[in-house]
Structure 1
């Protein structure tokens, strides 16, 4: 037993040393073509947006059914930058381990990891870059998909990742807040960035970003929120999941909800979106989505569900053009960075980022490839459709004569993946 612990410690220490200069998102030798970083230099800044006079659902009760508060949302913003002489694309991000405050088994402990971006760099001289809003899981953080956010910024997007209040690893609180506020946070951040983008606003994003050309990327509860934002109104039964029926504000058929559809949102990438297996939506609610969708999931997802979860969402969003990328044998962690060396000290922290049978770095590269193609088509009208018009290669373990049939993949490198496409009805 002691020898086993020593071996685990040795592996963890080796990982720490190897990871000291690691940058998440760098290409493996077998990475697909579009995973490559773009030509632009990347800056990163931390901004704050405050959404005032919001329902404080976690403190609502019979005596005070409508308490109000300000939701302070910390935002990480990646953007095309112009670097001064001697500036190198390097920064250090600080996040936290754990699953919320006051958990003695998984205390909120800070950890750091490297990024390929320049903190507070000057923005690029030109503007008009499409906006991508990123929404994490429950709990999660704005930093947990930096491999993708940096990559997209290098390709000419302004990427804004939200720390959703009461839903991060640092401040996790009651689930009702996450159910209620994801759509409201997404739309508020879109409105806020649009205001910041106006010439003369005084914000660093003034003139840099085109908020009329926006995509949402959501992971798990972030995927739930993204779908809810673009027209998947929750069912009447699901409205009861939040005390006092307050989730009715996000309910299919509610006129206020229907009026809040935002034409500026042109695409959604939903990683392992939660809700399908939990009957959050009925068929009428899912039919309300008309925004192009890219779903990404593992077929062994035991959190969001696959056959009764993500695959059902893919099949029933019938009025949207949609794609489904499936990792055979993958569980729920199809979106985040690989585990940092700090995660090795706690099995639960490690498993909250890792995949049992997949190398997270390979997943990251594949995600970069397909998200680049999908958003390039939807937001930039780039001629990348051939990267999505793929034969439905089945992940049955059979090595075919030429698995390079998937455009952009090295020969024999698409094994373990499934691809599906359904047009809008």
Structure 2
């Protein structure tokens, strides 16, 4: 009898192990679109501490801690692929979506990326143009990886800023993971103004630290800096373009404006790309884009929308969500990422490298989804 019980326990244990292994084997392994430029890409993560100010979102925190990912052209693709997010960050993201309750919590941590951890950097006389990335509210900096890897492969150094407590989860090198605190009371003009101030301070601090760094300073051309943001990061890019002299050009990816007018007119090159709900409103109540646009007064400006796009169509979630079993958007995720890469890279090549870009002059037969306003 005792032998039978032991055998049954062993059998149950064996089958449970097999079931667990089978479930793990069948779990999705998300994959991002490969970058298309001519350079291999490296990535390094930096932990920065601003001791000059307390954290604006966490009571009792006397310093502001930030995580920054830096993507860059590499001499060769050596080393481990850079992790997309940490297991803790993956769990926070997945557990926040009820439809993903059956998806293993570490799934996003296994996402296939193409930049290699601390790969040897490719140096260039005068340095590479710098692109600062700012993600949306609750979204980790990782959600802009498809763009970051593309830009690095095309000859840009890219700094993705994690705005701590504005992301669903941020993991620091010592293993701590902090979660979302900003804006729990809902979106208000006061919150929007505070987010704009916080992101301005974060961005200024990161630019200062990169310029002071012996490692990064020699790789950056400080005279050629642009900012690209999604959602709240996009509206922040617009506000910071007028406020921070070092930023020469900016792109807003589907970010609504809050506040709805900049403190100063936006006179530098600026482009907005959004979903169809961001199209000009010719009747009725004006949208935040309608109200902001008259304050964009520079000689070079563009207002574009993408037919079939949704709010997440401009970042990695456009391709990752369907891979996890979530519904697809009207426009295919691979297609929307291709469009975003094409137009934003053209913008950067024009304004940071001085290369003429006919794609930005008028509608293209290659991208009929993109509408000019």
Deviation at 1:99, TM superposition (A): 6.8
Cα pair 1:131 1:158 within 8 Å, conserved: yes
Cα pair 1:41 1:89 within 8 Å, conserved: no
Aligned to 2:123: 125
Query: Which of 320, 335, 349 is equivalent to 1:376?
Result: 349
Structure 2, unaligned stretches of length 5 or more?
Answer: 1-22, 170-178, 184-190, 280-284
Cα pair 1:134 1:216 within 8 Å, conserved: yes
Structure 2 residue matching 1:149: 3-state secondary structure: helix
Structure 2 residue matching 1:228: 3-state secondary structure: helix
1:387 has 2:340 as partner: no
Structure 2 residue matching 1:54: 3-state secondary structure: coil
Deviation at 1:132, TM superposition (A): 0.5
* Correspondence 1:279-294 to 2 at 5 A: 280-282=259-261, 285=262, 288-294=265-271
Distance in 2 between the 1:363 and 1:307 partners? 26
Cα pair 1:135 1:222 within 8 Å, conserved: yes
1:300 has 2:277 as partner: yes
Cα pair 1:53 1:70 within 8 Å, conserved: yes
Structure 1 residue matching 2:143: 3-state secondary structure: coil
Structure 2 residue matching 1:122: 3-state secondary structure: coil
Question: Based on CA coordinates, which of the two structures has the bigger radius of gyration?
Answer: 2
TM-score by length of 2: 0.75
- Which is helix-richer, 1 or 2? 2
Aligned to 1:267: 249
Cα pair 1:131 1:160 within 8 Å, conserved: yes
Query: Which of 316, 322, 330 is equivalent to 1:357?
Result: 330
1:80 has 2:73 as partner: yes
Deviation at 1:179, TM superposition (A): 4.5
- From the superposition, tell whether residues 140 and 117 of structure 1 become closer, same or farther in structure 2 (CA, over 3 Å): same
Structure 2 residue matching 1:121: 3-state secondary structure: coil
Structure 1, unaligned stretches of length 5 or more?
Answer: 1-11, 27-35, 61-66, 232-260, 392-405, 421-425
1:226 has 2:208 as partner: no
Distance in 2 between the 1:311 and 1:327 partners? 17
Cα pair 2:309 2:336 within 8 Å, conserved: no
TM-score by length of 1: 0.66
For the aligned residue pairs, the C-alpha RMSD in angstroms reads 3.4
- From the superposition, tell whether residues 213 and 72 of structure 1 become closer, same or farther in structure 2 (CA, over 3 Å): same
* Correspondence 1:7-406 to 2 at 5 A: 22=31, 24-26=32-34, 37-58=36-57, 69-83=62-76, 87=78, 90-95=81-86, 96-97=89-90, 109-110=105-106, 111-112=108-109, 113-127=111-125, 128-170=127-169, 171-175=179-183, 176=191, 178-196=195-213, 201=214, 203=215, 205-231=216-242, 261-275=243-257, 278=258, 280-282=259-261, 285=262, 288-300=265-277, 308-319=287-298, 321-337=300-316, 338-340=318-320, 344=324, 350=326, 356-384=329-357, 386-391=358-363, 406=364
Residue-pair matches, total? 319
